[in-house]
Amino acid sequence: MFERMLVGIDGSPHSPKVLAAARDLAVKSGSAVLVAHIRDIALPLAMAATAGRPGALPRREMPPLEDEEAARQLVEDALAVFREAGVQDAKGQVGSGWGATAKELLNLADEFGANVIVVGSHGSQVAQILLGSVAYRIVHQAACPVLVVR
């Protein structure tokens, strides 16, 4: 079914749901897994610039992931979910980009040879209109199937 799976996580409260769906799919299909977290340094700046203004971007409850160590720990914790479920071939990667999370994840998917990508969607319409949804971009630009967990 799916031999190589890329799982994109962001550290939001929604991430455990994404990990659970990806874990179940990986166990059933025997997939090798690459868990990736791309720190988008443009999003916090955009949110700060519009804070307190009418129509401002809504604040999402997300842990601060400004430093590399926190991002690495997020990925290590996610890898533990797969390893505890018996997925032997699971590795992680942390990256950063300037408003290019979807592009970075798609590049990783290509490099890894992923034949499925698993990401979450928060459903924030304001953020999608102003910044573009990472999940939306991945769905429309990926060269493989994409599972979007809501």
Query: What pLDDT digit, counting tens, does each position of 65-121 carry?
Result: 457 889 999 999 999 999 999 999 999 999 987 778 999 999 999 999 999 999 998
End-to-end CA gap in the chain: 22
97 or 6, which is more confident: 6
Which tops the pLDDT comparison, 66 or 27? 27
pLDDT score at 67: 78
pLDDT at 124: 65
Task: Classify the C-alpha dihedral 140-145-146-149 as positive or negative.
Answer: positive
Instruction: Name the percent of the chain in helix, strand, coil, to the closest 5.
Output: 45, 20, 35
At residue 16 the predicted structure's pLDDT band, cuts being 50, 70 and 90, is very high
Q: In sequence order, which residues have a C-beta less than 8 Å from that of residue 42 and are 6 or more positions away? A: 98, 99, 131
What 3-state DSSP class applies to 103?
helix
Domains of the chain: 4-149 (3.40.50.620)
Whether the pLDDT of residue 28 is over 70: the answer is yes
Q: Check residue 56 and report its DSSP letter.
A: P
